[in-house]
Amino acid sequence: MKRMAEVLGFLFLSLLLCEFLWAEDSHLETVKLESGLVIRAPSVQIRTTSVQPEELKSVPDVKRSSFIRLKFGEKSLCGMFVLDGAGRYRSLYFDTNGDGDLTNEEELKGVAEGDSKKVFEIKECSFKVGEKEMKGLGFVVVTSGDSINCVLKANWGWKGQIKFGDAERTVIVFDKNLDGSAKDESEAWIDFDGDGRLGLAEMVLLDEKFLYGEREYLFRIAEGDVLRIESEKADDWKGVKSPYEGLMSVVKGEEVIYVKSLDGAFYLPKGKYKVGNVLFSKVGEDGAVWDMMYKSGMELDPENTKEIQTPEPLKYQLSVSPDENSGFTFSLQTSAGVWNVSLYRNGERLGNPKVLIKDESGKTVHQFNFTPG
């Protein structure tokens, strides 16, 4: 009987520990991403070179050219820009099948944007990395004048599934430096609400503890493109109301903690914190993802703080003196303790309002953009 009691006690303790502490692996696959996810793909600056990469065995015969080279793990894909007499980018050949032959590729002319920019879209690449077949990957390249740098935005990432409670959620890791390796990435994106879109508040830093619901989580990249999730449950949590889906950083002592909202609230263990950066995301009536990011120095006590403040509405205030020597002043008025406000629509930061100051005749004597903060 005593032995049976010990066994039952051990099993009970094991079940209890499983509830409070567990780890799980999500295997990541390189895939073409849906349009709702691509808006969060990073824009990466890469440098062109006049030296033909050794991977290119055959190229079109042109007078002036420069080359780009991208990596997919062990595989390299290369392209060749055709330059005009002034060194500006005229067209692009890209090795979409990875065979090292550009003579069988289509010449992309590019679309002009403004006076100097050109946009080249590679819609689909299909090639092998080892035994793995990559299909449908593409990207956009933006060039500017005769600059040796160009900007690339890809439509691929590493994708997997993770479990929060009873729900399966999609996790995305983007290749921020386009080196084909997930090991050096610093962040993951999780479709917490399952709507197929990513707000800034759905970004999670890797190797940094974050709180979600009433659990602590830690995400890290393990060998073989595996996302490892470690989780631990703690006691004495309290919820603080969140007006939107949100993510914020708080400081307790010397520790920085990241907190993700769940069902309209941020959950934290009892204690006193100071709020750092705050992100809120919501989907507008037009289906666009809107993000607000700002700094807040508010003191937070989950037992007494009812709601995380937002700087809405944003109010711009301009004071102009009729005396030319006095000049003018301007400021962005927000909630007390909130500053450095930025707004984003579908991942693109919105410009600041332009102000024109005119004299009595209507002549513009000064113009500038408001700068939040």
Each residue's pLDDT tens digit, 287-329:
899 999 999 988 999 999 999 988 877 766 666 665 556 566 6
Percent of the chain with pLDDT over 90: 45
User: What does the pLDDT average to over 131-145?
Assistant: 88
Q: How far is CA 361 from the centre of its chain?
A: 47
d(CA 193, CA 202): 9
Q: What's the mean per-residue pLDDT of the chain?
A: 85
The answer on pLDDT for 355 being more than 70 is yes
Element of type H or E holding 280:
strand 273-283
Residue 200 contacts residue 281 (beta carbons within 8 Å)? yes
pLDDT at 240: 95
Nearest partner of 334 among 326, 344, 343, 325, judged by Cα: 343
- Looking at per-residue confidence, does 368 or 242 come out higher? 242
Pairing of strands 132-144, 117-129: antiparallel
d(CA 37, CA 21): 31
What are the tens digits of pLDDT across the range 191-247? 998 888 899 999 999 999 899 988 899 999 988 789 998 888 877 899 999 999 999
Torsion of Cα atoms, 209 then 339 then 291 then 139, to 10° = -80
d(CA 138, CA 136): 6
The pLDDT-based confidence of 66 (bands split at 50, 70, 90) is very high
pLDDT at 371: 61
> How many other C-beta atoms lie within 10 A of the C-beta of residue 333?
10
Can you give the pTM of this predicted structure?
0.80
Total residues found in the chain within this entry = 373
User: What does the pLDDT average to over 112-128?
Assistant: 88
Which residue type, as a one-letter code, is found at position 324?
Answer: E
Nearest partner of 245 among 299, 289, 187, judged by Cα: 289
pLDDT at 280: 94
The answer on pLDDT for 331 being more than 70 is no
User: What does the pLDDT average to over 88-111?
Assistant: 94
Q: How far is CA 87 from CA 54, 106, 242, in A?
A: 23, 21, 53
pLDDT at 335: 65
